[in-house]
Structure 1
Amino acid sequence: MLLQLKRRGWDVRILGCTVFDSERGMTLLKPHLDPKPTTRFVKVKDPDGLDHTLVVTQSIHAKETTNDELNQLFSLYLTTLDEFQPDFVFFYGGNAFDLLIADEARCRNIKTVAYLANSNYLGSTRWCRDVDLILTNTKATARFYKEKMQLEVTPVGIFVEPGKVVADHHERKHILFINPSFEKGGAFVAQLAWLMSKRRPDITFEVVESRGLWQPILHAVMKTLGEDRHELPNVIVTPNQADMRVVYARARLVLMPSLCWETAGRVLAEAMLNGIPAIITDHGGMPEMIEDGGIKFKLDPDLHEPPYTKIPKASLLGPLIDRIIALYDNEPLYRAFCERAWRVAQRIHNIDRNTDRLIEVLEKLKRKPDKHKTRKFHKQPQARVKQAPFTHERVWQEICARFPMFAPNSADWTGGLQARAELTAQAAPATFSALEALAAKLTGVPSLQPQPLSALRLDEGQREFAAVMAERFHHYGSDKARVHGYEQLYAWLLAKMRDHEGSLLEIGLGTNNVDTPSNMGAAGKPGASVRAFRDVLPYFQIYGADVDRRILFEEERLRTFYVDQTNGKTLRDLQRQIGTPLDVIIDDGLHAPHSQLNTLLFALEALRPGGYLVVEDIMPPQLPIWRVAGSLLQGLGHDVTIYQCRAALALLLRK
């Protein structure tokens, strides 16, 4: 979208961080990044000619961005607003920082624009309180947000550049399915391929993996069907591709049987541009994307409900299989569908027409009077307010006053305020290091050393469980696998429990209300991981707890409660509400040492003998605290291990 504006003569600047949440996202940028950067910012011109100014972050994962890094980005943003003086600011996201982006633009009378590319922005509308124009891809998505959240959203289409996706030639032989996952109809495709292997084994399905993996889906479906199979002879699996033209060159049909509410589906636009007919569920915004350039079919409503693992009766797929076979055996019929698909692309996926529509709505917004003017900053430098002089003495006083537990208290202190503050700051971590040594000496237990996840030595069954666990985390929107790699730890812990009854509690549901200090942003999905645990532990009762009462819910085998980890009484109340000893407790809540220690004390009472506690997201600077706790716990006979996971440490305790 921004590239098309640049090509129409618009001046475009892009600000951000070196955050991608996946190594794959760094492909184009890596050559421009110094592995040991000496500057805070990097300027990059991408292959399309767009200019990016990026804050160099220590991690590529958004959740690990530090306050200092966000402050650098915010400072860069304010400077750019005042010097560049744009007509519009485009942004997306719903974190507290994102709200400041729109607020600062509005106070300078600069119009703000947001783009909704999916259906994840349900819940609070505070993320768009300062947004002047909300854009989206389809009319169906606009209606969706109008009905669900009473938002006025303007559809402008999808922006797909044909030169990057249209193949030079077409073999037209495979049925193509991209990014396998349960919500995108992965179970349906596995069942369809299995049935087709019996009727027409000569027709090949090509599955292109992206974030989703094919093997866990196939394994689950074959198990449901009572088949002991790990592969299908008519399915080939292709890894993620940087250039999809080679894949589209092989495709005769594109499958996109999404069971979730799909707003549009970029794959469908790319298929239409290649003149490839699509097969879709008649659901969400997809029918609008293909019009008459493919086949639409309806499924029972219960198949469109999470966790999307149900499959239809085989007899109901017979008519669809007949139509697919006809598109292989009847060449004139197939060519007619190809022609219709290509015409749909020229009519609704034409990038020039969609760019015209985008510019039209932007120009209309530009002419619209601003009803929210607060300061006349637009087109002139921001007025600067003279700040009171900064004094180091005040900071030193605050350090000593706020941390009296660690402040030196000599009767005749003559070292000066600065020296006392510096010693106070040094004393906090040093105190725990000293306690660690003392605990090791008194208990005879050596200090805990973090172990790599490879030390778990997963067997084949546990590795399969880990793959399913990772897919379920991703399906519901949890970052436990993608960012942290916790699926390996949970596979080791839970695979042995999957065929038994039990109970699991996770503290921290992941609120998406940005007015809660610890939140996942407006686009976060509360309850993601507890739903994943429910799916992989079919005989377990799952419990969840969170400090934000607004996100509590109840589903089959899943109940949630209020808890405040900083208040021990609410943890005791939680134990009474659950009423039975627990097999597993997981702390994914506030991630502050005192709250985690409160959960530890709670777990020692609430776990059954032999039960497990997992404390996630322990930062390396906090390790001395947990070494003290670990020595004491091991001295009392509990098994304790600390694992070095992908982005943080995790503690595993067996009572």
Structure 2
Amino acid sequence: MRILFSQTVPYLPHEFGGGLTNTDALCRALIARRHEVMVLCRDLRSGLTRLMPWARKVDLGYPVTRVDDPLGAVRDVCQSYRPDLAVVQFGDIAGMVAALKSADIPVLAYLHDTGTVAQVKGGADAYAACSSSVAAALRNIDIEATVLPVLIDPASYRVPAPGNLITFVNPIPRKGIEIAFELAARRPEIGFQFVEAWHLRARVRKYLQQRIAHHGNIQLRPPVRDMRQIYANTRLILAPSLWEEAWGRVISEAQVSGIPALVSDSGGMPEAVGAGGVVVARDAPIGEWAAALDKLWFDEDFYRQTSKFALDHAARPEFSVNAIAHRFLNLIQGHATRR
């Protein structure tokens, strides 16, 4: 089967994020099962290659077509690539679905956050959601969606043993950066690493660096493709997000190594962490966050138990690569057009 992943936003390695990483993992799983894949996305290289000359040369192992106007390129791309089905996930979802349908391509709309639900106007042949919370949001507008959890290949994330740092990925306000700063200030004896994910403008990064400089226990790390570099130093994931998260991919990635997480109750975060961590209300006073952190960090028995639960949660059968790839293929099989 020939599958086109189509979006109006940039793609790896010019932009990072859990949803884009999931697309890459799904593409690799499909290739391993002898399907063909291609990604259509917006091009950001003109500006970024001055800062990252390597970006233009990155080979992801499958074709990626980067254009200034993905919507305008749909018909030409479909005529040349001739996909059996397209998967739409990010950016202008409604616009991309309409463009693909006008090109007579069956479409799966695969949603990764509740914020994009408002864009859904019907028209797709099938719908998928990365979590129960996103599926519930779609159900509220009378659309039934199959839950396709994030795809995690354990071999790509497993590290031998936990490190000694608290890791906070994507240090921006909506992800709870003020909670992270306050916890670092209250626990100066604990090391923190803030890891960039979404692209930060130069002035935003400079401001972030200035704030970090006031703390002696925080280091700022650039985005990386291989997250094992990060998890090898990690003892605990901190994810105090303030917005309606669909899931929390870093939680699942870390759990394959038995690394627990301290998370907010936003959206699908409790579903992502299961018993392999501690959930705190996102609007809870900072004292509750600090108490939960102390319990996980200083109570060795509790940490070991929670670490075991994290391993168990990551190893559940329905979360395996084979199970998710099989569910994805079953979902699209009846809609794809063999060309």
TM-score normalised according to structure 2 size: 0.78
After superposition, the C-alpha distances for 1:581-619 in whole angstroms (9 at most, x for unaligned) are xxxxxxxxxxxxxxxxxxxxxxxxxxxxxxxxxxxxxxx
Pick one of 191, 199, 210 that aligns with 2:197.
Answer: 210
Q: Show the 5 A alignment for 1:575-586.
A: none
Pick one of 96, 115, 121 that aligns with 1:120.
Answer: 115
The aligned counterpart of 2:28 is 3
- Distance apart, 1:101 and its partner CA: 1.1
Distance 2:143 2:46 in 1: 29
Distance 2:47 2:263 in 1: 28
The aligned counterpart of 2:168 is 177
The aligned counterpart of 2:330 is 360
Unaligned residue ranges in structure 2 (runs of 5+): 1-25
Distance 2:265 2:310 in 1: 17
Pick one of 57, 62, 83 that aligns with 1:31.
Answer: 57
- Distance apart, 1:89 and its partner CA: 2.1
The aligned counterpart of 2:260 is 277
Distance 1:330 1:30 in 2: 47
Q: 1:113 to 1:187 in 2, by over 3 A?
A: same
Unaligned residue ranges in structure 1 (runs of 5+): 33-45, 221-228, 301-311, 367-377, 381-655
SS in 1 for 2:110: strand
After superposition, the C-alpha distances for 1:464-509 in whole angstroms (9 at most, x for unaligned) are xxxxxxxxxxxxxxxxxxxxxxxxxxxxxxxxxxxxxxxxxxxxxx
- Distance apart, 1:19 and its partner CA: 4.4
Q: Show the 5 A alignment for 1:169-318.
A: 169-197=160-188, 201=189, 203-211=190-198, 212=200, 216=207, 231-300=214-283, 313-314=285-286, 316-317=287-288
The aligned counterpart of 1:88 is 85
Q: 1:357 to 1:97 in 2, by over 3 A?
A: closer
After superposition, the C-alpha distances for 1:63-101 in whole angstroms (9 at most, x for unaligned) are xx4xxx8655522322433xxxx4322234336465221
Checking the alignment, whether the CA contact within 8 Å between 1:209 and 1:239 is kept in structure 2 is yes
Distance 1:255 1:79 in 2: 45
Checking the alignment, whether the CA contact within 8 Å between 2:74 and 2:99 is kept in structure 1 is no
- Distance apart, 1:125 and its partner CA: 3.3
Distance 1:329 1:14 in 2: 45
> Rg bigger for which structure?
1
- Distance apart, 1:17 and its partner CA: 5.6
Distance 2:46 2:323 in 1: 33
Distance 1:26 1:121 in 2: 30
Checking the alignment, whether the CA contact within 8 Å between 1:261 and 1:283 is kept in structure 2 is yes
Q: 1:28 to 1:346 in 2, by over 3 A?
A: farther
Q: 1:359 to 1:237 in 2, by over 3 A?
A: same
TM-score normalised according to structure 1 size: 0.42
Q: Which amino acid aligns with 2:118?
A: G
Kindly indicate whether residue 139 of structure 2 is the aligned counterpart of residue 146 of structure 1.
Answer: yes
Q: Which amino acid aligns with 1:31?
A: K
Checking the alignment, whether the CA contact within 8 Å between 1:17 and 1:73 is kept in structure 2 is no
After superposition, the C-alpha distances for 1:301-327 in whole angstroms (9 at most, x for unaligned) are xxxxxxxxxxx645x33xx43443343
Distance 1:313 1:219 in 2: 25
- Distance apart, 1:284 and its partner CA: 0.3
Q: Show the 5 A alignment for 1:8-87.
A: 8-16=33-41, 18-19=43-44, 23=48, 30-31=56-57, 46-47=59-60, 49-52=61-64, 54=65, 57=67, 62=68, 65=69, 73-81=74-82, 86-87=83-84
SS in 2 for 1:333: helix
Checking the alignment, whether the CA contact within 8 Å between 2:170 and 2:196 is kept in structure 1 is yes
Distance 1:19 1:350 in 2: 33
Q: Which amino acid aligns with 1:329?
A: F
- Distance apart, 1:153 and its partner CA: 1.8
> Number of aligned pairs?
306
Distance 2:53 2:314 in 1: 29
The aligned counterpart of 1:342 is 311
RMSD: 3.1
Distance 2:334 2:78 in 1: 25
SS in 2 for 1:183: helix
The structure showing larger relative contact order (alpha-carbon pairs under 8 Å, at least 6 residues apart) is 2
Q: 1:97 to 1:26 in 2, by over 3 A?
A: farther
SS in 2 for 1:75: helix
Checking the alignment, whether the CA contact within 8 Å between 1:171 and 1:252 is kept in structure 2 is yes
Checking the alignment, whether the CA contact within 8 Å between 1:293 and 1:337 is kept in structure 2 is yes
Q: Show the 5 A alignment for 1:400-411.
A: none
Q: Show the 5 A alignment for 1:362-381.
A: 362-365=332-335
Q: 1:280 to 1:218 in 2, by over 3 A?
A: farther
- Distance apart, 1:122 and its partner CA: 4.1
SS in 2 for 1:176: strand
SS in 1 for 2:246: coil
Checking the alignment, whether the CA contact within 8 Å between 2:97 and 2:124 is kept in structure 1 is no
SS in 1 for 2:114: coil
Q: 1:17 to 1:298 in 2, by over 3 A?
A: closer
Distance 2:46 2:310 in 1: 34
Which shows bigger deviation, 285-294 or 333-342? 333-342
Q: Show the 5 A alignment for 1:190-589.
A: 190-197=181-188, 201=189, 203-211=190-198, 212=200, 216=207, 231-300=214-283, 313-314=285-286, 316-317=287-288, 320-347=289-316, 349-365=319-335
